[in-house]
């Protein structure tokens, strides 16, 4: 296998995803090249790589978004391929185009597929043409035609930017009087974030589940899905916890959703790993969009299938066939991923970038931690607040929940405030435990913050700092002596 793969790969990213890709490369005998900004000079991914190259200042626009600079570094250092990770340039169609012009393989879909799927409106049209169900919606709207379109769909409606994702600009419109102002607000947000002010309408489903299907396609016409991931636990349209399989899907729905995802991918000429997202409600599913890259939550799919998605990405980019067929894919047990962010859940989740003063990652059976940080690492304010991904795998959902709770109690992360206690609160919630989920789960359970506050006072048995129980006892003893 090694003789057919690349000799060196440049990873055009940072943090945990850069290390994740480098680990796969190291196991395949492939040399790695890292890139880094001023803020990441001492980052772990820089030290882990075989070589590292400075590409600019701390702001992403001066470093990780410098497409031409990154391609030049890859060319100059002799890298035969570039892995984009997720975020930054990973879904920019001109990135694979620039790689092709430089004679460098891009470990992801071709630019043509990205363009076909980059516009949500175009992706909807592609889905409809290939028999993939979509929610009732409109074409592009503006103040002159939006009211008629919204009346045809029926209020409430969801107003969405066509050119981007991540929940940016999305707005629920409950009535006609709100529509014009909402269009102006969403259009402005879309123009600022994506350079495209185009917006459209969809019927708003009040409490859907967000379920996505992992697909991977090679250049030989083979396309396989690896099942679903339940991503309904979201805050402001941003995922914070994912699991697989979904507690709501039957084998029949899973198969139908997987077939629909493959049809959408094939219609776009998709090659490499990607994710087709759906909403699911009352036994019906509807196409949302395609994420043309590896997802943050890919490890839970790896846990239940035993398939290394990054290695498979590299194989496909090297022109090889998939190493497995649809019939080979089997799902075993249940997996959950928790995104540990440097945010303070007790203070409205404000970012909390600081130096990590103590760090002990949980371990034991079925526990995996992906991170680009460790003791002494600085969490910079310039990038996403993700510090670590805690992934657990159990025999069934109850086993996975128990394992996740145990692992969170063991996690020592001192310095920045994190979402660890909030995840513990979610796992203890009766609705979560019963699988009663929707994308409004966080909004519907405001008491989670109070529960998180109690968990935040707990100390891991692996934390070698002062035991707060002993400190309290000593303080009480001193107070007693003073009184005497």
pLDDT digits (tens, 9 = 90+) for 340-366: 999 999 999 999 999 999 999 999 999
Does residue 231 sit in the same domain as residue 354?
yes
Does residue 313 sit in the same domain as residue 388?
yes
Give me the percent of the chain exceeding a pLDDT of 90.
Answer: 84
Does residue 75 sit in the same domain as residue 152?
no
Q: How high is the pLDDT of residue 242? A: 98
Q: How high is the pLDDT of residue 193? A: 81
- What backbone torsions phi and psi does residue 242 show, to the nearest 5 degrees? -135, 155
Q: What is the span of the domain harbouring residue 199?
A: 136-203
Q: How high is the pLDDT of residue 432? A: 98
Whole-Å CA distances, 327 to 225, 255, 289, 444: 10, 12, 26, 40
Q: For residue 295, is pLDDT > 80? A: yes
Is residue 479 situated within a structural domain? no
CB within 8 Å of 405: residues ≥ 6 apart = 424, 427, 428
Whole-Å CA distances, 264 to 17, 345, 369, 454: 26, 38, 32, 45
Distance CA 26, CA 398 (A): 35
Provide the domain count of the chain: 3
Is residue 464 situated within a structural domain? no
Distance CA 70, CA 229 (A): 32
Give me the percent of the chain exceeding a pLDDT of 70.
Answer: 95
CB 291 within 8 A of CB 91: yes
pLDDT in tens, 102-138: 999 999 999 999 999 988 888 889 999 999 999 888 8
Q: What is the mean pLDDT of residues 58-62?
A: 97
Q: How high is the pLDDT of residue 236? A: 87
Among 166, 151, 274, 254, CA closest to 211? 254
Q: How high is the pLDDT of residue 3? A: 42
Distance CA 5, CA 27 (A): 12
Among 325, 350, 326, 315, CA closest to 255? 326
Catalytic residues: 293
Q: For residue 28, is pLDDT > 70? A: yes
Range name among 173-187, 244-258, 270-284, 469-483 with the lowest pLDDT average: 469-483
Q: How high is the pLDDT of residue 2? A: 43
Does residue 332 sit in the same domain as residue 222?
yes
Does residue 50 sit in the same domain as residue 145?
no
Q: What tokens were used for 221?
A: 């016409």
Look at the block and give the residue holding tokens 């890859």. Answer: 74
Confidence of residue 472 (pLDDT cuts 50, 70, 90): low
List alpha helices for 383-447, DSSP H: 397-410, 420-428, 430-433, 441-444
CB atoms within 10 A of CB 112: 15
Q: What tokens were used for 95?
A: 């990135």
Q: For residue 165, is pLDDT > 70? A: no
Confidence of residue 195 (pLDDT cuts 50, 70, 90): confident
Q: How high is the pLDDT of residue 476? A: 65
CB within 8 Å of 139: residues ≥ 6 apart = 121, 149, 200
Q: What is the mean pLDDT of residues 197-214?
A: 93
Q: What is the CATH number of the domain that holds 299?
A: 3.30.470.20
């Amino acid at each position: 296998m090694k003789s057919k793969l690349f000799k060196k790969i440049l990873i055009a990213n940072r943090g945990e995803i850069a290390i994740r890709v480098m680990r796969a490369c190291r196991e395949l005998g492939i040399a790695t090249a890292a890139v880094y900004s001023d803020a990441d000079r001492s980052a772990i991914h820089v030290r882990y790589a075989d070589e590292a190259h400075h590409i600019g200042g701390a702001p992403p626009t001066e470093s990780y978004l410098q497409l031409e600079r990154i391609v030049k570094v890859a060319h100059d250092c002799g890298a035969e391929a570039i892995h984009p990770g997720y975020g930054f340039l990973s879904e920019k169609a001109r990135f694979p185009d620039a790689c092709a012009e430089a004679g460098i393989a891009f470990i992801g879909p071709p630019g043509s597929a990205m363009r076909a799927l980059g516009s949500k409106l175009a992706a909807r049209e592609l889905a409809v043409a290939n028999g993939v169900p979509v929610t009732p919606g409109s074409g592009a709207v503006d103040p002159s035609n939006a009211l008629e379109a919204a009346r045809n769909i029926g209020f409430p409606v969801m107003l969405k930017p066509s050119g981007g994702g991540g929940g940016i600009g999305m707005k629920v419109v409950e009535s006609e009087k709100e529509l014009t102002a909402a269009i102006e607000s969403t259009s402005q947000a879309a123009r600022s974030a994506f350079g495209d002010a185009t917006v459209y309408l969809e019927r708003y489903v009040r409490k859907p589940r967000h379920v996505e299907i992992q697909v991977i396609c090679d250049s030989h016409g083979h396309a396989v899905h690896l099942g679903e991931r339940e991503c309904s636990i979201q805050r402001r349209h941003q995922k914070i916890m994912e699991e697989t399989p979904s507690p709501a899907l039957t084998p029949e729905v899973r198969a139908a959703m997987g077939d629909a995802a493959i049809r959408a991918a094939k219609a776009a000429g998709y090659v490499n790993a990607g994710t087709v997202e759906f909403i699911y409600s009352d036994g019906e599913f509807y196409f949302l969009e395609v994420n043309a890259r590896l997802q943050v939550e890919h490890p839970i799919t790896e846990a239940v299938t035993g398939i290394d998605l990054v290695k498979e990405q590299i194989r496909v980019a090297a022109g090889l066939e998939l190493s497995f067929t649809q019939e080979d894919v089997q799902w075993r047990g249940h997996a959950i991923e928790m995104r540990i962010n440097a945010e303070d859940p007790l203070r409205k989740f404000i970012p909390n970038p600081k130096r990590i003063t103590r760090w002990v990652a949980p371990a034991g059976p079925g526990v995996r931690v992906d991170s680009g940080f460790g003791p002494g690492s600085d969490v910079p304010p310039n990038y996403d607040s993700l510090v670590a991904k805690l992934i657990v795998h159990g025999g069934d959902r109850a086993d996975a929940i128990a394992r996740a709770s145990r692992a969170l109690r063991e996690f020592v992360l001192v310095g920045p405030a994190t979402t660890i206690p909030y995840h513990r609160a979610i796992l203890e919630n009766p609705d979560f435990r019963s699988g009663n989920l929707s994308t409004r789960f966080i909004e519907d359970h405001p008491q989670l913050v109070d529960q998180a506050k109690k968990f935040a006072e707990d100390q891991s048995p692996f934390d070698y700092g002062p035991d707060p129980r002993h400190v309290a006892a000593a303080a009480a003893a001193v107070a007693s002596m003073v009184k005497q």
